[in-house]
Amino acid sequence: MKPIVRLLLAAVAWFTPLLGHAQREKLPPADLAIVEKKWPEAKKTPTGMRYVILKEGTGNPPKVGDSVRVLYKGMLIDGTVFDEEANAKAGMSFRLGRGLVIEGWDQGLKLVKPGGRILLIIPPSLAYGTRGDPPNIPGNATLLFEVELLDVNRPEAPPPPPKSLMKK
């Protein structure tokens, strides 16, 4: 075996435990115990968020750049409600993947189809982190969101350039 190949294999072997470390559990231990007891069926994403599809929707889930309209209830792990949008006529609208909401929402809403409902169990690193969002959300808080995806609007494709500018 060539020395460079041996060196690469040694580097991979050395870094593998570190990569495993990066994939460690993102939920605080006490919160993890609650989640595993209350939602044992929750699926885990590579980023450490968990989710449960509460109601299957239809069609295609939203993608980055799509405008979505949702109803939601935000809770702390103990069930305390800190925010809610329940007016089905209005809902809350935003463009997905633009950093307009916490990262857990940008990731989690891509997992539900229009008309569906999802429970997002978001670790602090994908929510408000160590600082929290005083006074209602303490630092290092695991957040629960029940979200109903009312509708998805895909951005319109830009019109083609005028024929005079197109290659022949």
- Pairwise CA distance, residues 25 & 10, whole Å: 27
Please give the backbone phi and psi of residue 16, each rounded to the nearest 5 degrees, phi first: -55, -45
For residues 7 and 9, what is the distance between their CA atoms, to the nearest angstrom?
Answer: 5
Reported as a single tens digit per residue, the pLDDT across 67-115 is 999 999 999 999 999 999 988 788 999 999 999 999 999 999 999 999 9
Provide the pLDDT for residue 90: 85
Q: Encode pLDDT of 29-52 as tens digits.
A: 999 999 999 999 999 999 999 999
Residue 118 pLDDT > 80, yes or no?
Answer: yes
Q: How confident is the model at residue 25, as a pLDDT? A: 81
Mean pLDDT of the region 113-136: 96
Give CA 128 to chain center in angstroms.
13
pLDDT recorded at residue 165: 67
Q: What is the pLDDT of residues 4-26, one digit of tens each?
A: 545 444 444 444 444 443 457 89
Q: What are residue 137's DSSP bridge partners?
A: 133
Q: Mind listing the domains of the chain with CATH numbers?
A: 23-154 (3.10.50.40)
pLDDT at residue 136 in the model: 95
> Is the pLDDT reported for residue 155 higher than 50?
yes
Q: Note the pLDDT of residue 168.
A: 61
Are 105 and 158 a contacting pair, CB within 8 Å?
Answer: no
Dmax over CA atoms of the chain, in Å, equals 67
- Lowest-confidence region among 52-56, 86-90, 118-122: 86-90
- Dist CA 146 CA 168 (whole Å): 53
Long-range contacts of the stretch 152-159 (C-beta < 8 A, 24+): 152/59, 152/60, 152/61, 152/62, 152/66, 152/67, 152/68, 152/114, 153/66, 153/67, 153/68, 153/69, 154/63, 154/66, 155/65, 155/66, 155/67
Tokens representing 124 are 């602090």
* pLDDT exceeds 50 at position 150: yes
Q: How confident is the model at residue 162 (pLDDT cuts 50, 70, 90)?
A: confident
Chain mean pLDDT for the chain? 86
Tokens coding 136: 């209602």
Residue type, 9: L
Whole-number pLDDT of residue 161: 72
Tallying the residues shown for the chain, one arrives at 168
